[in-house]
Amino acid sequence: MTVRRTVLAWAAGLALVAALPLAGRALRGRDESRCALDGVTVDALHAVRVEKPNGTSRTLCCVGCAVSWVRNTQAAPRRIFVTGEDTGGEVEARSAWYVESRVVAVRATGCYIHAFATREAAERHAEEFRGELLGGDAAPFAPPRER
């Protein structure tokens, strides 16, 4: 009987350990949006939404995570939207303006790239925080170059 109880205790312990991630997710609730790449809580001001070819979307916490996610995804996204820090609204990623500055955008990921809906806002941020306007090949989500 002792062996049987030991086996049952081990099985119960393993089941408990396996259930911990599910319990944690249930306790956190569904209100928080999490980054599709690394699970970081998404701050609405820096959110990036990647629309997949099948029409579903993935939300990422920052431009850096979105660039990595797109780079590691086999199918090219249908569209990408960033949140403009100047407007708080979604902007088509290819028409947004980006600045890499001394101000951290998302501390958890170490991302210093900021997205803006207007060039004027991006230039103001770059000037105020000693940043650099990212353009051409340096811009995230730049259209592929023709060869």
User: What pLDDT, in 10s, does the model give residues 25-41?
Assistant: 566 555 569 999 999 99
pTM, two decimals, is: 0.75
16 and 58 inside one domain: no
Whether residue 115 contacts residue 106, with contact meaning beta carbons closer than 8 Å, is answered with no
52 and 111 inside one domain: yes
Domain assignment of residue 5, given as a range? 1-29
70 and 93 inside one domain: yes
pLDDT at 144 over 60: no
> How many domains is the chain partitioned into structurally?
2
Give the pLDDT confidence score for residue 100 in this predicted structure: 97
Q: Across residues 45-49, what is the average pLDDT?
A: 97
